[in-house]
Amino acid sequence: MTMAVQTLPWEASRDRKGAGAALRSLAVRFGNKLVTSEAVRRQHGNTATWIDSQPPDGVIFASSTQDVQEVVRICARHGVPVIPFGAGTSLEGHVNAPFGGISIDLSEMKQVVAVHAEDLDIPVARIELLDALQVKACNAYSKLTLPETPMLFVEFHGSEANVKEQSERFGEIAKDLGGGAFDWSTRAEDRTRLWQARHDAYWAGRALRPGVQAFATDVCVPLSRLADCVIATQRDLMESNLLAPILGHVGDGNFHVTMLMDMNDPDEVARARGVHERLIERAMAMDGTCTGEHGVGQGKMKYLLAEHGPAALEVMRALKAALDPQGILNPGKIVT
């Protein structure tokens, strides 16, 4: 297949004059909403995984849709990339700025636009898997005393009577299928303590082996194949002699593996990369996808051809070119 390659303005000239002009215009328009300190810029590059951090030239803390529109207009005028920044939990280089540019931090845009209660049909509000190693990490990091065995954290929403009914039914199903004890509580402080431990799971996992890098990744498979995929992955990790807790938002078949590896040990890095490749191949062989929620970013671009085929990638490229003819909207991600 022959493919035309487009040379983009920021790719043809890397002297960054456009970035300087854009920063001056943004400073006039946004004042202290624009931050260019090295510390803040590095925080808005890749921070949570093994891919090198590539910080932007500046960060705008947007507080409205109008702010975002104006930033994009100014950057487009100077041919400068823009990179959106949400919670900053990038695992595949999504928030990196490989060609420089302006990061638009959206953390101040917290207004709830609309609530459609009739669409909330999900009674299990959250269902999270922690394998035994992840539970061990959470116990140590969050000062818990959970049994160190694979477990699910489940949350139900609704009236008091509905939650009681749903919880009891869930416990019955778990028991019928050979699950362990089902403990539940309606006390807010108990729920908060457990869910905070779940939210801190990434840092808890890293604390299992201080001083090394976390190689975190995720996949998603149909629920009917979830157990098979997790078990096969655990076996692969054991055979590869890697320390890697597993957790997941398993209501949709999505789970995460966090391999803790010494980047100065080439053999260990090679083993981790091998597990990563096989995990993605395994997920796709089970009719899953190479990423469950963390997206394609820089880290998983090369898997899209196998997952979607060349025709689909050409459609993606055509859409990207139509919506972003200058190639300034988060460049270097998903499609080349």
Ordered domains of the chain (ranges, CATH): 15-111 (3.30.43.10), 120-202 (no CATH), 209-285 (3.30.70.60)
276, two tokens? 């990563």
Rg of the Cα trace of the chain?
Answer: 22
Distance CA 330, CA 84 (A): 7
Q: Are 53 and 88 in contact (CB under 8 A)?
A: no
Place of tokens 């190639």: 327
Q: Which residues have a Cβ under 8 Å from the Cβ of 188 and sit 6 or more positions away?
A: none
Is the CB of residue 95 less than 8 Å from the CB of residue 170? no
Q: How far apart are CA 204 and CA 214, in angstroms?
A: 11
- Alpha carbon separation from 127 to 250, 276, 303 (Å, rounded): 6, 24, 28
Task: Dihedral sign for Cα 297, 298, 304, 307, please.
Answer: negative
In the chain, the N- to C-terminal Cα span, in Å, equals: 15
DSSP state of 325: T
**pLDDT (tens digit, 0 to 9) for every residue of the chain, 336 residues total?**
333 334 444 443 444 678 899 999 999 999 999 999 999 999 998 777 778 889 999 999 999 999 999 999 999 999 999 999 988 877 788 899 999 999 999 999 988 777 765 554 476 788 899 999 999 999 999 999 999 999 998 888 888 888 888 888 888 888 888 887 787 777 788 888 888 888 899 999 999 999 999 999 999 999 889 999 999 999 999 999 999 999 998 888 999 999 999 999 999 999 999 999 999 999 999 999 999 888 898 989 999 999 999 999 999 999 999 999 999 999 999 887
